[in-house]
Structure 1
Amino acid sequence: MKKLILILLLLPAFCVAQDSIYVRETINTLTSKALWGRGYTRDGMKKAGAFIASEYQKIGLKPMGSSYLQTFNFPVNTFPGKMSVELNGKKLIPGKDFIVNNESTGLKGKFTLSKTDTLNYESNQGLKVTLKDKLTWSVATETTPNLTIQLNKKSFNYIPKDIKTDIENQFVPNFQAANICGFVKGTRKPDSLLIITAHYDHLGGMGSETYFPGANDNAAGVATLLSLAKYYAANPQPYSIGFICFAAEEAGLIGSHYFTENPLIPLSNIKFLLNLDLVGTGASGMTVVNASVYPKAFAQLNELNNAHQYIIKINPRGKAANSDHYFFTEKGVPAFFIYTQGGPSAYHDIFDQPESLPLTEYNDLFKLIVGFNQKQME
């Protein structure tokens, strides 16, 4: 009996050691050029979803519905083609020297800029230029009639005067996406569920040559989710353990909102949900959103962490609509959103790359999640 208990205690550590390589390989796949930022051009999001569904099948997860995919549609503005800007005769590099505002329309031509204030310029043909300390991109579900270009202040030391643009946008009114949903059936209480979630979409591409890899946001979260799925598939628990990779988080939490309005499982059966987003670092600790909303669960998390010295510091945060946990909380589902801190600061830019992602706390976060879920089943 003592030997059996020892084996059970050592299982999470063994699985973590085995899956560190798998996590790295998964992040490399999700951030690859072939998946083009897991976004809205070159079928990036569709390819990423297909990859995750194939991993679910290999792992042995059961679909929540008739398949792993829960499909839905929404509008999105995309930039699939030309993305050229010349400033004062100098050709600029997309993503590094400039980005376009995500809701912008395309525009081709030569323009003279007039200064409106310290950081902003405009032409009389619907073109605006603004200077930024840091370039961060996002996703828009609508368009404006103008083109706005953000310039990296660090890229040049001259006054913007003449600008030449050749930029194409394409508004897609019914872009199809899918949440990827699976579970491991519980051994004693299969109708009770613990859910682990992570969004797999990112920003996609800006033009035909520039894409946003999204290593920390959120390839790391998906890879951690898949490694946990492997562990639970090999070690079924009394409760069912569900795994949902959401699409369209970057477009405004659209995938998770769709799921909560069209649930594949009764939301009342979810005993707790852990949402993983931006978990590829951890040198400075981690933050838990909804800590003050569920103080008992947060105390359990801290008790586990203090006993095993997993994470250097766990910071509490209140309710926030900043990731896919939010609409579940609004429906009465207890949920935490976990993100790590410290290390590389790349976020929503072209520099969020796998080579610079340290995965500082992957091992400890894995063990903390397994321990926390165990507490929820006691």
Structure 2
Amino acid sequence: MKVVALFVNFMFTAFAVKAQDISYNKNIVNELTSSTYWGRGYTNNGMKKAADYLAAAFEKNGLQPLQKNKYLQPFTYNANSFPGKMEVTINGKKLTPGVDFIVSPDCKGVDAKGTLEQVDSVTFVDKKNSIIVVQNDKLTWSAAQKVVPYTVIEINKKTFTETPTSIKANIENELIKNFEANNVAAFVKGTAQPDSFIFITAHYDHLGGMGSNTYFPGANDNASGVALLLSLSKYYAAHPQKYSIGFILFAGEEIGLLGSKYFTEHPLTPLKNIRFLINTDLAGTGDEGITVVNATEFPKEFAIMNNINNNNKYLSAIGARGKAANSDHYWFTEKGVPAFFFYTRGGIAAYHDVFDKAETLPLNEQADLQSLLIAFITDLQ
């Protein structure tokens, strides 16, 4: 009877944690995608505000900083930014930033008007003012560490169907030299082998703002992964493991995996002490399951994950992919640390655009992802 009672109590607790964490995850995504953090990028102090918020979340969840008395690991890099004017008029029609047009992340500012000459079916040039206009079916933005001596403006063919013949543009850019960013790192001390680590990682930065009135929320990319990570940090703070469980939230991912590169070059714990690293990005959907990068590099661990999923039916599918430099796991793998990177498949298609919002992100597999990862980490120890 005592065993039965313990089992019932365990199941009730697990259900309660699961239900609570879904609400918690949604609150995290809502917070990080709000205008307060302005896309967690390079204007309005958005990235620093996010780093401070996340450090406070680790502390509230009961985690220790990975370096003594400091959750933040500072580093710097150059970043092009767009803090002010973002005005484009084509054929006399004013376009809406993010919806009708974007600028190339490495473009210089410009304040000019001119005539556009057609170069090919989708490219138009104002040679006098070094402006290039390109028509695209989807506007996908990014971030850049440099500035080129011309201005590229991409316009949405679906919202602006005319042939561009004239342009007026007032765009302000600022190259920030030695932009100050921070990785945010914490851990739960292991009960038996505290010097050995399993890490869970995600990047928290996004693209920031394009002009003073438009920002990119970054709900799926990657407030979703941050939410999953913070939820797991709550769980492990309440359930310490044999190994220490470390958590790193990286900055500078969108501009070139810079935060994870810096961490591997200046590790806060010896890299040889990391048993395994699990990186999560784009964790907000999952209708079609997940894809695991490095699955072919670490077939034993991939088989463990698949066996857990097959037995518990958490996700509809777990797809295998080889080595790829497409997220923050990469630099760890290059340094000899075994690592997986997983991302969800199916659902909404918003990515690096102004439509990647909290209100349209389902987070429908976050609870199952958490259960899968907890079981996987248990089997790794």
Which one is further off, 160-169 or 4-13? 4-13
Alignment correspondent of 2:86: 83
Give the Cα–Cα distance (whole angstroms) in 1 for the partners of residues 187 and 162 of structure 2.
56
Alignment correspondent of 2:243: 239
Give the Cα–Cα distance (whole angstroms) in 1 for the partners of residues 14 and 300 of structure 2.
24
CA distance 1:13–1:298, change in 2 (3 Å): farther
Residue aligned with 1:154, SS: coil
Residue aligned with 2:237, SS: helix
Give the Cα–Cα distance (whole angstroms) in 2 for the partners of residues 7 and 181 of structure 1.
33
Give the Cα–Cα distance (whole angstroms) in 2 for the partners of residues 102 and 252 of structure 1.
13
Q: Which amino acid aligns with 1:93?
A: T
What are the equivalent positions in structure 2 for 1:122-271 lying under 5 Å apart? 122-124=125-127, 125-271=129-275
Alignment correspondent of 1:288: 292
**Over residues 9-35 of structure 1, what are the superposed CA-to-partner deviations in whole Å (9 max), with x where a residue is unaligned?**
654443111111111111000000010
TM score, norm. by length of structure 2: 0.97
Identity %: 55
Alignment correspondent of 1:116: 119
Compute the displacement of 1:101 (Å): 0.3
Alignment correspondent of 1:373: 377
CA distance 1:219–1:6, change in 2 (3 Å): same
Alignment correspondent of 2:109: 106
2:71 to 65, 68, 73: 68
Q: Is the 8 A contact 1:199 1:277 kept in 2?
A: yes
Compute the displacement of 1:114 (Å): 0.1
Stretches of structure 2 lacking an aligned partner (at least 5 in a row): none
Alignment correspondent of 1:54: 56
Residue aligned with 2:158, SS: helix
2:39 to 18, 30, 37: 37
Compute the displacement of 1:284 (Å): 0.9
Give the Cα–Cα distance (whole angstroms) in 2 for the partners of residues 203 and 14 of structure 1.
35
Q: Is the 8 A contact 1:12 1:231 kept in 2?
A: no
Give the Cα–Cα distance (whole angstroms) in 1 for the partners of residues 75 and 290 of structure 2.
32
Q: Which amino acid aligns with 1:293?
A: E
Alignment correspondent of 1:351: 355
Residue aligned with 1:155, SS: coil
TM score, norm. by length of structure 1: 0.98
Give the Cα–Cα distance (whole angstroms) in 1 for the partners of residues 8 and 241 of structure 2.
17
**Over residues 237-275 of structure 1, what are the superposed CA-to-partner deviations in whole Å (9 max), with x where a residue is unaligned?**
111000100000001000000000000001111111110
Q: Is the 8 A contact 1:12 1:370 kept in 2?
A: no
**Over residues 174-220 of structure 1, what are the superposed CA-to-partner deviations in whole Å (9 max), with x where a residue is unaligned?**
10000000000011110111100000000000000000000000000
Stretches of structure 1 lacking an aligned partner (at least 5 in a row): none
Q: Is the 8 A contact 2:21 2:367 kept in 1?
A: no
Compute the displacement of 1:144 (Å): 0.2
Give the Cα–Cα distance (whole angstroms) in 2 for the partners of residues 320 and 160 of structure 1.
38
What are the equivalent positions in structure 2 for 1:325-364 lying under 5 Å apart? 325-364=329-368
Residue aligned with 1:304, SS: helix
Give the Cα–Cα distance (whole angstroms) in 2 for the partners of residues 157 and 227 of structure 1.
45
1:24 is the counterpart of 2:26:
yes
